[in-house]
Amino acid sequence: MTGTFTTRIVDVTTGSAETMHDLTNACTAFLREVAHGRDGLLNVFTPHATSGLAVIETGAGSDNDLLAALREVLPADDRWRDRHGGSGPGRDHMLPALVPPHATLPVIGGELELGTSQSVVVVTTDQGGPDRQVRLSFLG
């Protein structure tokens, strides 16, 4: 099997509040440039200890529901051993255990194969770092 592997870094500004940033358009644009109608896999990875990736419906309230659920499961208080000088950051370092820093998605005919209303988003609860990087890699 002969395939090609292409990768690119995408810079994302997430701001200083917990948020989700939609990466779907960046994924689609990347595949338009590199997939050339081929089937394969898109791997999305964020190399940050306080970010994760999710495939979720956006715009109908699910994005806010996910952030609310994370606030309940990972409250910003002093219970965390990993504090980095203050309360709260320890929970941010737990985020990738619940919202993993990677996703591998099918590409069919050069197009990202998502379900109706699904989007690829980077999730962060860290309010200290406004910038993130995401690596997009296509194998096809």
What pLDDT shows up at residue 84? 61
Angle at 3 between CA 43 and CA 24, to 5 degrees: 30
Amino acid at 55: V
Please give the pLDDT value at position 78.
78
Cα separation, 60 vs 95, whole angstroms: 23
> What integer pLDDT is reported at residue 114 of this predicted model?
96
- pLDDT, residue 123, reads 95
Could you read off the pLDDT of 33-48 as tens digits, one per residue? 999 999 999 999 999 9
d(CA 4, CA 2): 7
Burial 59-80 (b: 16+ CB within 10 A, else e): eeeebeebbeebeeebebeeeb
> Is the pLDDT confidence value at 1 over 60?
no
Reported for 59-67, long-range contacts at CB under 8 A and 24+ positions apart, including other chains, are 60/117, 63/20, 63/121, 66/20, 66/123, 67/18, 67/19, 67/20, 67/123, 67/125
pLDDT of residue 83: 58
Residue 4 has pLDDT above 60, yes or no: yes
**Residue range 93-103, pLDDT digits in tens:** 899 999 999 99
The single-letter DSSP state of residue 36 is T
Q: In the CATH hierarchy, which fold is given to the domain comprising 5-139?
A: Jelly Rolls (2.60.120)
Asked if residue 77 has pLDDT above 60, the reply is yes
Q: pLDDT for 94-131, tens place per residue?
A: 999 999 999 999 999 999 999 999 999 999 988 767 88
**Residue 42 CA, distance from chain mean position:** 13
| Domain assignments of the chain as residue spans, ordered by start | 5-139
Question: What pLDDT digit, counting tens, does each position of 10-41 carry?
Answer: 999 988 788 999 999 999 999 999 999 999 99
- Over residues 35-62, the mean pLDDT reads 94
Q: Residue 85 pLDDT > 60, yes or no? A: no
